[in-house]
Amino acid sequence: MGAHGWSSSRLGFVVCGYLAFFCGQIVPRAEAGCRERESPNCCTGRNNECFEYSKRKTVCYCDTYCQKTGDCCEDYQRVCQISAIDCVVGSWGPWSSCTSQCGVGSTERSRLVSVPPRNGGTPCPDLKQRRGCFGNNAVCSTAKEVAKILPDSFKRNFKDPWRRPHMLMKEEKASYCVYLRVKQASAACKLKLWSSQLMRERLICAECQSDAMSKSNRCGGDGLESTRTFWAAASVPGCHGSWVRELSSEGCRCPPYSVLFV
């Protein structure tokens, strides 16, 4: 290749280099930002994964929190704010009943989302509220009763030897049975054979016979469903505990080795 050919080739490279330089200056590169993000373009709340690179190759964010930190992408207002939809919630529902029938408990209420937030809109506020309450149900007085119990051998088929023939017999009322789950029993209950069966989580059948019934035709302390009540063994000092009633049956008798209400 001659000197003339070499000069022409070199000149061509130089011209192309200058053209490339000027094209880069005149035609700007595509602006990077929220619009270039894969869906979703914008995010609600604080989301450190919701970022993109600016045209200066620095990290910028497209989440709502960037408005507080001042590191939003340049097109955040244009892309995210225009299409942002804030969360809308409905009215509060009624307060629920107290979790405790007797004593300290809690109650709560809730509301539903009518319009979910989109495209960086304001997040939803709390959807549940809870507050304390004090249960004072009509059964609370019953819950305070302490059942006095004895082994079934004390009263089954019992006949009063002191009753005179001319004395009127007391009206015999039908017995009923209550099945109770023992929740707590003191150490003293282990001192007697019959009371040692009153162990935690054991299901006990307690029979209410006519002689033990009050004017309301029930035995005191016969328990409440879903509420812990208390009992005491009448013939074993220091033997006491708590239980929860699971089932009751009218006109029945408990099987052998059960207990009786006194």
pLDDT tens digits for range 119-163:
667 889 999 999 998 877 766 766 778 899 999 888 644 455 555
Written out in words, the top-level CATH class of the domain with range 88-137 is: mainly beta
Report the alpha-carbon distance of residue 52 to residue 61 in Å, rounded: 6
Residue labelled with tokens 């319009």: 115
The residue ranking higher by pLDDT, 46 or 149, is 149
* Model confidence pTM above 0.75: no
Residue with tokens 């208390």: 230
Q: Is the pLDDT of residue 2 over 70?
A: no
Q: Indicate the range of 27-41, 203-217, 246-260 predicted with least confidence.
A: 27-41
Please tell me the least confidently modeled range out of 30-39, 110-119, 131-140, 241-250: 30-39
Judged against a pLDDT cut of 70, whether residue 68 lies above it is answered with yes
On average, the pLDDT of the chain sits at 80
- Spell out the domain ranges in the chain: 30-83, 88-137, 141-155+173-261
Candidate from 6-10, 35-39, 185-189 with smallest mean pLDDT = 6-10
Of 210 and 166, more confident = 210
State mean pLDDT over 75-98: 86
The residue among 213 and 188 whose pLDDT is bigger is 188
Q: Using alpha carbons only, how large is the chain's radius of gyration in Å?
A: 41
Helices assigned H by DSSP within the chain = 3-26, 66-69, 76, 82-83, 140-143
List for the chain the helix, strand, coil content (%; round to 5).
Answer: 20, 30, 50
CA distance 3 to 8: 9
Quote the pLDDT of residue 150.
94
Amino acid at 238: G
Phi-psi sector, 26: left (phi>0), alpha (psi -120 to 50), beta: alpha
Please check the confidence at residue 93 and state whether its pLDDT lies above 90: yes
What local confidence, expressed as pLDDT, does residue 14 receive? 40
Residue 33: the pLDDT is 81
pLDDT of residue 31: 52
Least confident of 37-46, 82-91, 155-164, 188-197: 155-164
pLDDT at 124: 92
